[in-house]
Amino acid sequence: MKFFDLLRLILGNLSRRKARVALTAIGVVIGTAAVVILVSLGIGLQKSATDQLYGIGDLTLIDVMPTYGGEGGYYVGSGGGGPAISLSSELQEPALLTNSALEQLRLIPGVKAVIPRDYLGTQTVIRYQRMEGGVNIIGIGTNDLSTLGMEAGQGTTDLAKGTVVIGVMTPYNFYDPYQRPGQETPPPPELLNEQIQLIVIKWDQDGNEIRKTLSLRVTGILNETGGEADYSIYLPLDLVKSMNEWAYGTRINYNKTGYNQVIVKVEDPNQALDIADQITALGFQAISPQSFLQGINNTFLILQLVFGGVGAIALLVAAIGIANTMAMSILERTREIGLMKAVGATNRDVLSIFLGEAAGIGFIGGLGGIIVGWLAAQAINVIAIIYLAGQASQQGGAPPSVAVYTPIWLPIFALIFSTFIGMLSGLYPALRAATMIPVQALKYE
């Protein structure tokens, strides 16, 4: 039997029993709509969570730290929904982030940049006019912070000698140490293109405080990242190194001691986990936000499966409805089946016709279900975003861009799945029809 003849016959048979087909298909509509809505909700929640994570951490960055040997080193794996970092109890060989190690990292395919960084390890104060503040000082081995994916909200990301690029929250750390009670608290200073003083403090053997002051011009204020960068100021690594040498009174040779931390920037966020694994294999510790993201994704995958499962229960009920309708239909059409066989239909032809009719009910219901599900998802989205935006404005958070998200694969999958469920439900009745003995079918009363 040709496919189009089969299709025409199936459509004809379905249209002969419009009311029954429609009533049976309504069950499938409800089941499919439930799958579409619930899975869309799961995906929407995941998207909302991961979008926020994208805001916090650049997924193309991997933090690499040395391993000093002994027990209890970090191991950062790429797998599973479990913790992104696990403690390893194995003995590890020391692996220092020397310049030659950095060269090794640069050779890993997919690595775009390898940038060392260090913290200023002594007490510091920053001063602007009468105001002072504490701040996290990071020395960075690049003269352009955009290499790390950072963006300047004001000014530049370039780091030149005598300049500093600051995090967006840094001005809020300033206070007036001479403020008297009752006096109004000054607003955060506008620091772009202003000179600030960086006061580095150390103590001699007798406990006397020794101060060193550096004058720096603020050439850039970074965009908000939601992370450490917002409360830090960035200086060239050499400057931080020299300040650390002054503070500790000893020369630092990165070729011997290695860097405390290196940032590896990869070309494609999807490669980050693989590259982190390769770095770990070299003996270093590597932490990628991608591994956290994968953990989140795995959690949401479980959530989607649970949601999808709830929808699938509705589809299961619909499937029983299809099976019932098909069984009734076959009972009513027993003589027709006998006739089909008498005029030359093979068992396979009969099976195809009845399976096709069952699949047709699944398809019609699935089509209705994805339309209803999609419309309901859009409605939920509008209502939820209005509600969550209101909540976010009260609590000071960022409003979500999406609450329910229906990716293109979901309706396609739902349609195929509902058709398959229809076919599966019709399998037993169709097999019964196909294997009927023609003479018994023809004599059926």
Partner 1 sequence: MDSPLIRITDLKKHYQMGGTTVRALDGVSLDIEPHTFTVVMGPSGSGKSSLLYLLGGLDRSTSGQISIGGERLDQMDENALALFRRRTLGFIFQSYNLITSMNAAENVSFPMQFTGIPNAERNQRALQLLEQVGLADRAHHRPAELSGGQQQRVAVARALVNNPSLILADEPTGNLDTASGVTVMQLLSELHRSGRTVLVVTHDPRMTRFATHKIYLLDGHVVDEDEYQSAALEMSQGSNESLEIK
> Which residues of the shown chain bind partner 1 in the complex (CB under 8 A)?
1-2, 5, 8-9, 16, 335-336, 338-349, 437-439, 442
Q: Write the single-letter amino acid at 338.
A: G
Query: Is-contact 226 55, C-beta < 8 A?
Result: yes
Residue placing its CB nearer to partner 1 in the complex, 219 or 334: 334
CB of 338 to partner 1, least distance (A): 8
Query: Is-contact 78 277, C-beta < 8 A?
Result: yes
Instruction: With H, G, I as helix, E, B as strand and everything else as coil, classify residue 216.
Output: strand
Beta-carbon neighbour count of residue 347 at 10 Å? 13
Q: Could you give the count of Cα atoms lying within 13 Å of 250 in the half-sphere of its Cβ? A: 5
Residue placing its CB nearer to partner 1 in the complex, 34 or 340: 340
Query: Is-contact 137 125, C-beta < 8 A?
Result: no
Rg of the chain on CA atoms, in Å: 34
Residue placing its CB nearer to partner 1 in the complex, 231 or 444: 444
CB of 333 to partner 1, least distance (A): 9
Q: Could you give the count of Cα atoms lying within 13 Å of 156 in the half-sphere of its Cβ? A: 11
Residue placing its CB nearer to partner 1 in the complex, 314 or 436: 436
CB of 326 to partner 1, least distance (A): 17
| 188: DSSP letter | P
Pairing of strands 261-266, 61-65: antiparallel
Two tokens, residue 150: 């950072």
Residue placing its CB nearer to partner 1 in the complex, 5 or 144: 5
CB of 411 to partner 1, least distance (A): 32
Residue placing its CB nearer to partner 1 in the complex, 254 or 354: 354
CB of 357 to partner 1, least distance (A): 14
Among candidate residues 73, 125, 114, the one with its CA nearest the CA of residue 95 = 73
Residues 6+ apart with CB under 8 A from 220: 145, 152, 154, 155, 156, 157, 158, 165, 166, 192
CB of 4 to partner 1, least distance (A): 8
CB of 438 to partner 1, least distance (A): 4
Helices assigned H by DSSP within 57-195: 99-106
CB of 351 to partner 1, least distance (A): 12
Residues 6+ apart with CB under 8 A from 89: 71, 72
Cα dist. 133→152, 185, 327 in Å?
Answer: 22, 14, 80
Residues 6+ apart with CB under 8 A from 416: 366
Instruction: With H, G, I as helix, E, B as strand and everything else as coil, classify residue 178.
Output: coil
| 129: DSSP letter | T
Beta-carbon neighbour count of residue 388 at 10 Å? 16
Residue placing its CB nearer to partner 1 in the complex, 168 or 441: 441
Residue placing its CB nearer to partner 1 in the complex, 1 or 383: 1
CB of 298 to partner 1, least distance (A): 50
Residue 41 burial (C-beta neighbours within 10 Å; 0-12, 13-18, 19+): buried
Residue placing its CB nearer to partner 1 in the complex, 5 or 245: 5
CB of 3 to partner 1, least distance (A): 10
Residue placing its CB nearer to partner 1 in the complex, 8 or 130: 8
CB of 16 to partner 1, least distance (A): 4
Residue placing its CB nearer to partner 1 in the complex, 377 or 441: 441
Helix, strand, coil fractions of the chain, as percent rounded to 5: 55, 20, 25
| 180: DSSP letter | P
